[in-house]
Amino acid sequence: MAEKKSHSSPEWFRLDNAGILFPGQNTRNWSNIFRFSIEMKEKIDPDVLKQALENIMPRFPAFNVRLRKGLFWYYLEKNPVKVPKVSPDIKNPCYRVKFKESDRFLFRVYYHGNHIAVDLFHAVSDGYGNSRFVCTLAAEYLRLKGHNIPSGGFVKNIREIPPSAELADDFPKYANSKAKASITDKHVYHPTGTKLSKHMVNMTCGIMSFDEIHSLAKAKGVTVTEFFAAIMLDIHCRKQLQETRRLKEVSVQIPINLRNVYPSETMRNFSICLMVKVDPNFGEYSFDELLQQVALQLRLARDEKKINATISKHVRIERNPFLKFLPLPVKNVSLNVATLVGAEQTTSVYLSNLGEVKLPDEMVPFIEKVLFVPGPGIRTAARCGIASFNGKLIFTIANCYEENDIEREFFTTLVKMGVHVKIESNRE
């Protein structure tokens, strides 16, 4: 193996256009943390995992940071600590980030049995970045165990100098629309239930065949994401009809990876959320009608010009002279108020599909499955993460309530459609 070249990374850099929101929203009640994990076919050795983490950290300067306060903005600074600690997994995955803990790193590395998991604060990166980080960590772990694992797919080459493009904030680079996009939404329906303690989550995973799901979706003329979104809309619409006569809109928020729209290599945030909504006041929707609504709305929203109008709007807000030079404590208060008024209030279901996790052929025999887990919300009973690997699709629901009726309805619906589903959960 070639000797690793020396390189340097910036001592500090600004948060990207999406990341600037998250530090101010980080409160005792909510923190934008999400998890990507890999289940191996052998028990994890924590000492080897720690060495693997040390080996890959220079390749990921976007992760080797701590958060600092400026007069007007937070910013990211190179962390003088070489590597974060590796810890046994915890009962409350995705619990809130505390900026002074974990040697100020903004991610946490856990192991349990055969699992490697990384909980990441969204200010650092999105699902694309975290999945590449964890897959590269798992690959280096296997190398240290004596296996010949090349780079490729989601596994980065840790012997190469990190390209400067991976540290870029690509939102302003591609924002060129003069259109005035709307970024406000109505408050929508949320199921109610018995709240768990703060930063606790009930996590339920449905493991199924990707081909079975893909065949069902294809027969309906929709994508897998659109198919799942319609099921969730159907469940929430029917649930609301049973609970109240005063009906609100039901919505599904779906992040999309902008690297599939623009030629970007960034390892930082580069995604936006699209919203699909139906209003039950127009009448009861059949499942096929919901499929049609989801497909039409998402395909219209995915239009590049509409996407560009949205990211241009966000960049203009960031550059607004009044907001730009507003003192940071005032910005934080404003963000907290905006989070209370908006955020989950406008989202019934959050559904993020990471897609197929691609690993080198030499690595595949050592991996059982992968999980993509959104952190718990404050009001949302269905924050859903989807990832596929080696023919398996894993659909994970993070629920902030004790009740499990959303999960039960969702997976029961799939079983009735002929899908074989294996359930795993952290519920006792």
Nearest to 49 by CA among 82, 83, 86, 81: 86
Please indicate, yes or no, if residue 300 is contained in any of the structural domains: yes
Please indicate, yes or no, if residue 164 is contained in any of the structural domains: no
The answer to whether residues 279 and 412 belong to one domain is yes
250 token code pair: 């039901």
300 backbone dihedrals φ, ψ, rounded to 5°? -70, -40
Task: Provide the pLDDT for residue 339.
Answer: 65
Please indicate, yes or no, if residue 381 is contained in any of the structural domains: yes
Task: Look up the domain containing 72 and give its range.
Answer: 12-159
Which of 125, 159, 193 terminates a domain? The answer is: 159
CA distance 346 to 189: 8
User: Domains in the chain: how many in total?
Assistant: 2
- 29 CA to centre of own chain: 19
Task: Provide the pLDDT for residue 147.
Answer: 98
Task: Provide the pLDDT for residue 5.
Answer: 42
Nearest to 74 by CA among 86, 65, 83: 65
384 backbone dihedrals φ, ψ, rounded to 5°? -115, 135
Residue 288 host element (H or E): helix 287-301
The answer to whether residues 30 and 121 belong to one domain is yes
The answer to whether residues 316 and 237 belong to one domain is yes
Q: Which residues pair with 204 in a beta bridge?
A: 397, 425
Please indicate, yes or no, if residue 140 is contained in any of the structural domains: yes
Please indicate, yes or no, if residue 197 is contained in any of the structural domains: no
Task: Provide the pLDDT for residue 1.
Answer: 36
CATH at 130: 3.30.559.10
CA distance 294 to 276: 6
The answer to whether residues 316 and 263 belong to one domain is yes
Please indicate, yes or no, if residue 180 is contained in any of the structural domains: no
Convert the pLDDT of each residue in 363-420 to its tens digit: 999 999 999 999 988 889 999 999 999 999 999 999 999 999 999 999 999 999 999 9
Strand order across the 86-88 sheet = 86-88, 107-112, 115-121, 33-40, 367-374
Residue 93 to residues 27, 229, 397, 412: CA-CA distances in angstroms? 17, 24, 13, 25
Give this prediction's pTM. 0.95
Q: Which residues pair with 367 in a beta bridge?
A: 40
The answer to whether residues 208 and 315 belong to one domain is yes
Nearest to 126 by CA among 346, 309, 372, 305: 372
Using a CB cutoff of 8 Å and minimum separation of 24, what contacts does 10-15 make?
A: 10/61, 10/78, 10/167, 11/77, 11/78, 12/68, 12/75, 12/76, 12/77, 12/78, 13/75, 13/76, 13/167, 14/73, 14/75, 14/76, 14/169, 15/73, 15/74, 15/75, 15/76, 15/123
The answer to whether residues 48 and 118 belong to one domain is yes
Task: Provide the pLDDT for residue 341.
Answer: 59
Please indicate, yes or no, if residue 314 is contained in any of the structural domains: yes
Segments of the chain scoring below 70 in pLDDT: 1-8, 336-343, 428
Task: Provide the pLDDT for residue 338.
Answer: 66
Task: Provide the pLDDT for residue 9.
Answer: 72
The answer to whether residues 107 and 253 belong to one domain is no
Total residues found in the chain within this entry: 428
The answer to whether residues 206 and 314 belong to one domain is yes
Which of 126, 159, 192 terminates a domain? The answer is: 159
The answer to whether residues 40 and 106 belong to one domain is yes
